[in-house]
Structure formats: structure tokens, C-alpha cells
């Protein structure tokens, strides 16, 4: 049912244009225009708009709360009430009951009063929402203070028990977590190595995927795994209409809560100690640069190599950091799990950097030839063609000399000599030109794009690195036993 509400005060009854009949027919026409016919009129004749209590309005509101009304039409907002607050209260009530609100005066939305009305309406509903939110969050905090988990964050290692709002240990995942702590504390592995090792062993987390580095890091750092959890460590803050960001709460706002422990507190504390140490290593270490980073390929499998540093695993020199180049198949969980890890061992960065640079110096100074290191793949060899053309050139030059001699000795006349010489000269020019082409291709094979002088003059890391970036060959390397070897490839 669609409601029309009309009202006139006693003073207005005298004025034209506001008569009940005028209002009624204008409202009806508005509804008819929208194709709505099930209409019920509510008429307050001789009531002021100042107050909310009016007989017809009261009936309208009770029909509304009974769910009988789908829309309410007024001639203008003044018919609803003369008072903005009352207008807002009523508009809010209509909206909550799911009824549409229509005004006949079409330009009302755009008028100053209309704009004020709708912006106030927006403010009122925002206030309402904030109040609801505040009530829920107060409810949540109360729940948290009773030692209950408020929101299930699906942490690795736990299942959710909805009945008593608490995490329960997932034994399969808990076994992996204990193993991670064991690898970290007793076998000197870093989070990254652990992720790779576990993937290599076929251990999977959720969704049958290998554990990511960030999962392993979280397992090692979260206090919840020794049974101490905190709620309200952070909250979501709305920073603009669409953007939200996570804000860390000060510790006095945290709510401590006990959950089932997967490792002992001592174990967790030992891990935090080690994490702290590793962080220091990482900081001190971030300046380390690798001469061949991004330029190396594994000779065994052809894939690229990565470079990284990690602390020593030896107990007596825990402060030392070792840097390695390593075949990507050994460092990425996805290769490990597909069984594609190759047998190339990690190569110490210092040694390979030094060896490759020394090799370039030897080539630049002429002590060694690039050919010793270069493996030619596809570059064609034109030496046979060059040899044929060289012979042909010799023959033609000989012929030219012969013609000259024959003419001098009067064996041929001038006309014949000239003709013969022209032919020979043409052929010779063709041979010389194609020979030059073959020779320059052959030359390119042997000539690196960096000049020997540049190599010999490069002293700083930057200079060396820039030259290597221009080096026209791939550097392939492999280490199977103690020693590594390397070569250049087209
Ligand atoms: Zn490899």
C-alpha cells in the first residue's frame, strides 16, 4: 500500500494553494505517474506541523510499523513537519521501515532546505551506525575480557571452536610448528632454509601448498604458539572514504588471553633471541653487493642463480656471514616440491666474483684467449668460406698481372686487354666485398663488447659491475664437488 499524507493548519486553511484537495490530487498524480495505484490517504485537517502527535500521522506510523506501507508521499517536507528535527526523525523512521519517501515539489532536492534536509538525514544515519558499532565493539571487548577469542583469524596450527569461542590445537599443523622450531633452534637453519627444506620433504601447509617464508616467519615470532595471545594489538582505521589502514594499539589497550600452547615458553623465548640476532646480521649485511647478481646461470639445469648471505651454522663462529650464489631450483619451494632441484652446490660469492673478474683481466691483457672459456652455440663459423674467397682473390690478382704482362709483350691488343681487365676487376671487387662481410661476422664472434682497456682500468665495484652488465655473454657456472667452474655462452 502507498500512503499519501496531507495536512493543513487552521491558519493555512484560509490560504489558497494549500488546500487538502489540492495536496491530495497532486500527491495522487505523482503516484499515478509512477504507476502506483494502491493508495491510502491520511488526512490531518487543522493540525499544526510543529508537533509530531497528530491523529492521521499516528495512524500512518502504526500502519508503517505493521509493515503495510511501501511508500509515503507528501506535497512538501513542510507537510511532514515545520520542524527540521521532527522531519529528520520521521524520515529516519520511514527509511528504517523500508518505505520510500516522495515529495511532489520536484525542485525540493535542489533547494537549500532540501540540501540541508538530506545532509542532516545523512548525518543522523551515520550517527546511528556509529552508535551500533560502538555497542558491538564494547560487546566484543567485554567478550575478550572474559578470555574469549572475538574473531577467528584462522592462525596456522589451530582450529576454531565456535561453541566456546576458542582456538584448539590442530595436531597435524602443530607437529609442523614444533619441527620448525627444532630446525631453527637445533639445526641452525634460517626461516628461508626451513621453508625450502620442508617443501623439499613434501611437507605442506593448508590447501596442500608448501609453507611460505612468511608463514614460517610468523610461526617463529608469534607469541600465541607458546599459549600467550593478545587481542586488540591493532585496529583498522578508516583514513578516507575507501581506504583503511591497520594501526598498532598501545600495549595498555591489549587484552591478554590464554590459548593452548604448541611449544614451551622457553622454546619460544630462545627463538626470539635468535631472531633478534639474525636481524642484527641482516642489518649489518644489507650493504653487501654481489658482482654477478642476476648474471649467472646454472650450467647443470640452465636456470638462473640467486645470491644471498646467511649466518654461519657453526656454533663457534656464529657471527660470520656466508654469501652464496645458488641455483634457483634449490631456493624456491615450488621447484623443490616438483622434484626439479638440481645438484649444483652453492658457490661462495667471493671466490666466484674473484675468479670471473680475474678471467676477464687475463683475456683483456692477452694472457688468455676468450675462446678458452667461450662455448659457441649458434654462431656460424665462416672460416671455410673465407678460405675459398681468399684463394679466388689470389687467382684473380694473378690473372690481372698476366693480362698486363701479355699486353706489354704485345701478345694481345689494347682493346682485348682492356676488356679482359675490366672483367677481372669486376670479379675481384665482388670477391673482396663478400670476403669483408664474412670476415667481419667472424670478427664479431671473437670480439667482446667491452674493450680490454676498460677491463684493465676498472677498479671500483661500480666500474666492474657496469662492465659486466655490458658483457655480451651469459656466464654459466656449476659446483659439484669442492671446486666450481664457469664458462661464457652466446
Ligand atoms: Zn641448477
Lowest mean pLDDT among 12-26, 171-185, 247-261, 318-332: 12-26
**% of the chain with per-residue pLDDT over 70:** 90
Q: Please compute the mean of the pLDDT values over residues 285-299 and round it to a whole number.
A: 82
Q: Give pLDDT, residue 9.
A: 81
| 342 alpha carbon – ligand 1 mean position (Å) | 5
Residue 476 Cα to ligand 1 midpoint, Å, equals 10
The secondary structure of residue 34, as a DSSP letter, is T
Let me know: does 476 contact 299? Beta carbons within 8 Å.
yes
Mean pLDDT across 274-289: 72
pLDDT for 18 beyond 80: no
User: What was the pLDDT predicted at 93?
Assistant: 86
325 band by pLDDT with thresholds 50, 70 and 90: very high
For residue range 57-99, what is the model confidence (pLDDT) as tens digits?
999 999 998 889 999 999 888 888 877 778 888 888 888 888 8
Read off the pLDDT band of 10 (50, 70, 90): confident
The Å distance, Cα 337 to ligand 1 centre, comes to 15
Over 70: is that where the pLDDT of 30 sits?
yes
* CA atoms of 269 and 288, how far apart (whole Å): 30
Flag the least confident range among 32-41, 50-59, 135-144, 409-418: 135-144
Dihedral over Cα of 475, 480, 485, 490: its sign: negative
pLDDT for the residue numbered 348: 93
**DSSP reduced 3-state for 326:** strand
Query: Which pLDDT does position 464 carry in this prediction?
Result: 92
How much is the mean pLDDT over the chain? 84
Q: 35-44, 48-57, 114-123: which has the minimum mean pLDDT?
A: 114-123
Q: Which three cell numbers stand for residue 142?
A: 567485554
Diameter of the chain measured on Cα atoms: 144
* Distance from residue 292's CA to the centre of ligand 1 (Å): 16
Element (H, E) at 358: helix 349-364
Ligand 1 centroid from CA 376, angstroms: 20
Of 333, 379, 143, the C-alpha closest to 257 is: 143
Q: 445 CA to middle of ligand 1, Å?
A: 27
Nearby residues of 439 by Cβ (< 8 Å), 6 or more positions away: 382, 386
- Residue 229 predicted with pLDDT over 60: yes
Distance 474 CA to ligand 1 centre (A): 15
- What is the distance in A from the centroid of ligand 1 to the CA of 197? 17
Average pLDDT over residues 229-246: 80
The CA 375 to ligand 1 mean position distance, Å, reads: 18
Ligand 1 centre to CA of 346 (Å) is 10
Lowest mean pLDDT among 321-325, 373-377, 448-452: 373-377
**Band (448; pLDDT cuts 50, 70, 90):** low
The per-residue pLDDT for range 108-133, each reduced to its tens digit, is 666 777 777 777 777 776 777 777 77
- Please give the Cα distance from 27 to 6 (Å, whole number): 9
CA 326 to centroid of ligand 1, rounded, Å: 8
pLDDT bucket at 260, cuts 50 / 70 / 90: very high
CA 454 → CA 391, 439, 461, distances in Å?
38, 25, 13
DSSP 97: T
Residue 443 has what pLDDT?
Answer: 64
Compute the distance from residue 475 Cα to the ligand 1 centre, in Å: 13
Whether residue 299 contacts residue 487, with contact meaning beta carbons closer than 8 Å, is answered with yes
List the beta bridge partners of residue 39.
Answer: 2
pLDDT in tens, 192-211: 888 888 888 889 888 888 89
Query: 287 pLDDT exceeds 80?
Result: no
pLDDT of residue 125: 67
For residue range 381-407, list pLDDT tens digits in order. 778 888 888 999 899 999 888 888 888
Return the pLDDT at 386.
Answer: 86
Q: Which of 124-128, 350-354, 381-385, 449-453 has the lowest mean pLDDT?
A: 124-128
Cα(165) to centroid of ligand 1, in Å? 49
What are the pLDDT digits (tens) for 128-161?
777 777 777 777 778 888 888 878 889 999 999 9
C-alpha 220/C-alpha 215 separation (Å) is: 9
Residue 195 CA, ligand 1 centroid: distance in Å: 19
Ligand 1 center to residue 295 CA distance, Å?
A: 14
Environment of ion ligand 1 (residues, CB < 5 A): 298, 300-301, 327, 342, 344
The pLDDT of residue 4 is above 90 = yes
Residue 377 has pLDDT above 80, yes or no: no
pLDDT value at residue 286: 58
Residues in a beta bridge with 40: 3
Q: What average pLDDT score do residues 453-464 get?
A: 90
The helix (H) or strand (E) run that includes residue 437 is helix 414-446
Amino acid at each position: 500500500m502507498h500512503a499519501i499524507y496531507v495536512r493543513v493548519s487552521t491558519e493555512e486553511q484560509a490560504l489558497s494553494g494549500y488546500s487538502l484537495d489540492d495536496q491530495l490530487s497532486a500527491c495522487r498524480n505523482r503516484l499515478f505517474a509512477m504507476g502506483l495505484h494502491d493508495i491510502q490517504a491520511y488526512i490531518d485537517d487543522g493540525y499544526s506541523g510543529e508537533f509530531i502527535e497528530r491523529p492521521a500521522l499516528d495512524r500512518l506510523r502504526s500502519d508503517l510499523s505493521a509493515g503495510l506501507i511501501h511508500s509515503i508521499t507528501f506535497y512538501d517536507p513542510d507537510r511532514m513537519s515545520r520542524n527540521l528535527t521532527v522531519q529528520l526523525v520521521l524520515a529516519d523512521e520511514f527509511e528504517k521501515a523500508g518505505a520510500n519517501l516522495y515529495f511532489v515539489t520536484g525542485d525540493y532536492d535542489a533547494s537549500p532546505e532540501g540540501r540541508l534536509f538530506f545532509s542532516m538525514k545523512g548525518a543522523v544515519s551515520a550517527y546511528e551506525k556509529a552508535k551500533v558499532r560502538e555497542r558491538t565493539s564494547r560487546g566484543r571487548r567485554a567478550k575478550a575480557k572474559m578470555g574469549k577469542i572475538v574473531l577467528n583469524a584462522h592462525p596456522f596450527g589451530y582450529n576454531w571452536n565456535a561453541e566456546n569461542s576458542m582456538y584448539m590445537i590442530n595436531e597435524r599443523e602443530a607437529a609442523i610448528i614444533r619441527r620448525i622450531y627444532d630446525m631453527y633452534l637445533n639445526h641452525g637453519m634460517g626461516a628461508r632454509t626451513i621453508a625450502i627444506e620442508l617443501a623439499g620433504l613434501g611437507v605442506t601447509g593448508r590447501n596442500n601448498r608448501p609453507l611460505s617464508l612468511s608463514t614460517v616467519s610468523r610461526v617463529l615470532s608469534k607469541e600465541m604458539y607458546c599459549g600467550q595471545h593478545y587481542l586488540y594489538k591493532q585496529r583498522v582505521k578508516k583514513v578516507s572514504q575507501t581506504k583503511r589502514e591497520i594501526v598498532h594499539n598501545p600495549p595498555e589497550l591489549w587484552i591478554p588471553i590464554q590459548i593452548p600452547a604448541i611449544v614451551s615458553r622457553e622454546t619460544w623465548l630462545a627463538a626470539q633471541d635468535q631472531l633478534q640476532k639474525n636481524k642484527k646480521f641482516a642489518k649489518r649485511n644489507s650493504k653487501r653487493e654481489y658482482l654477478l647478481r642476476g648474471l649467472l646461470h646454472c650450467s647443470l639445469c640452465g636456470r638462473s642463480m640467486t645470491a644471498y648471505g646467511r649466518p654461519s651454522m657453526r656454533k663457534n663462529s656464529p657471527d660470520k656471514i656466508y654469501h652464496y650464489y645458488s641455483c634457483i631450483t634449490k631456493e624456491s619451494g615450488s621447484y623443490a616440491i616438483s622434484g626439479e632441484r638440481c645438484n649444483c652446490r652453492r658457490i661462495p660469492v667471493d671466490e666466484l666474483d674473484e675468479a670471473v673478474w680475474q678471467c676477464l683481466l687475463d683475456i683483456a691483457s692477452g694472457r688468455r684467449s676468450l675462446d678458452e672459456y667461450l662455448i659457441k652455440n649458434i654462431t656460424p663459423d665462416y672460416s671455410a668460406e673465407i678460405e675459398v674467397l681468399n684463394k679466388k682473390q689470389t687467382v684473380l690478382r694473378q690473372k690481372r698481372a698476366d693480362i698486363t704482362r701479355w699486353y706489354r709483350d704485345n701478345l694481345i691488343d689494347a682493346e682485348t686487354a682492356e676488356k679482359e681487365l675490366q672483367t677481372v676487376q669486376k670479379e675481384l671487387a665482388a670477391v673482396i666485398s663478400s670476403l669483408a662481410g664474412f670476415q667481419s661476422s667472424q670478427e664479431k664472434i671473437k670480439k667482446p663488447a667491452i674493450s680490454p682497456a676498460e677491463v684493465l682500468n676498472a677498479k671500483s665495484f661500480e666500474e666492474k659491475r657496469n662492465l659486466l652488465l655490458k658483457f655480451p655473454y651469459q656466464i654459466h657456472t656449476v659446483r659439484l664437488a669442492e671446486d666450481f667452474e664457469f664458462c661464457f655462452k652466446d
